[in-house]
Amino acid sequence: MQTIRYLRGLVALVAVVFGVIGTAGATSANTDLSDIWFNPNESGWGMQMVNTGTFVFATVYVFGTDRKPTWMTGQLRKTVAAQTTYSGPLFVTNGPWFGGPAIPPAVNREAGTMTFVLTSVSTGQLSYSVDGVPVSKAVQRQTLTFDNYNGEYVATLTQTSAGCSFPGDNGSFTSGLTVKIAQSGQSMTVDTKYADGSSCSFNGTYSQLGRMGQNSGSYACTWGEVGTMTFFEMNNVPYMFTARMQASSSNNGCNTEAELSGVIPR
């Protein structure tokens, strides 16, 4: 019974995290890079990336030697590396005046290469070369508004636990649960409930960079389980959310990694 309750509690916690997190938008192959990226210390330029599977289309808006806006695009593919790395050709784009009677196709000229290395969920290193001029910039996701996770979700949690005092709690499991999230600014409370009436409550501080959110705090379950959890790669879209989670129990030794996804029933 202890094992079953622990697993359910973890699921609830994960769901809580996920609710707090929202939909993390990650692809099946990697952390989703789709976002607006910039360097907060260098206003006036930035980059937008669209990530589909292992391919990224990057649009970089900068200024040329004449101080006029310059557009560059990169067609990047994921490479095998210690860190998530995308590389490919870079193109400089020129086009007609937007107010003309007809807009012919833009002219794309291959002018160099571009590489993006994801250094954390929300930060990266952009390097490119244009006509022999090298550039390297540290960038991060740009936040527009905080996501709203308030609601009641039906969720699924897939987890792997190790180091547990009870051997039966170790291993990989998939569970279902309901999650109720109450969010106010950076304060977030997630309550989870299971079919047998057991429940867990997660209270944390929410932060966000771009589309990715993170929530860190503590949890407590009705059967006595307590610990700390961090939810990351949190992201949401209407009626749906996804997230990843790491949890550490302070009274049974379990260390858990999990993925969570949920929907608001309609």
Instruction: Dump pLDDT digits (tens) for 49-72.
Output: 999 989 999 999 999 888 888 899
Same domain, 137 and 117: yes
pLDDT at position 26 over 70: no
Same domain, 134 and 151: no
Q: How confident is the model at residue 40 (pLDDT cuts 50, 70, 90)?
A: very high
Q: Which domain holds residue 208?
A: 2-22+147-263
> What is the pTM (predicted TM-score) of this model?
0.80
pLDDT at position 113 over 80: yes
**Residue 3 has what pLDDT?**
37
Query: CA-CA distance, 59 to 147, in Å (whole number)?
Result: 24
pLDDT at position 195 over 50: yes
Query: CA-CA distance, 177 to 20, in Å (whole number)?
Result: 15
Half-sphere exposure (Cβ direction) of 175: Cα atoms closer than 13 Å: 25
What average pLDDT does this structure show over 115-133?
96
Q: What percent of the chain has pLDDT over 90?
A: 54
pLDDT at position 74 over 90: yes
User: Which CATH number is 228's domain given?
Assistant: 2.40.128
Domain count of the fold of the chain: 2
Same domain, 254 and 173: yes
Count Cβ atoms below 10 Å from residue 134 Cβ, excluding itself.
10
Instruction: Please give the distance of CA 227 from its chain centroid, rounded to a whole number.
Output: 23
**Residue 221 has what pLDDT?**
87
Half-sphere exposure (Cβ direction) of 128: Cα atoms closer than 13 Å: 28
Domain end position, chosen among 141, 176, 196:
141
Quick one: which H or E segment has residue 17? helix 2-21
Torsion of the alpha carbons at 164, 213, 174 and 13, rounded to the nearest 10? 60
Lowest pLDDT segment from 24-28, 177-181, 256-260: 24-28
Q: Torsions phi, psi of 13, nearest 5?
A: -60, -45
What is the chain's mean pLDDT, rounded? 85
Q: How confident is the model at residue 28 (pLDDT cuts 50, 70, 90)?
A: low
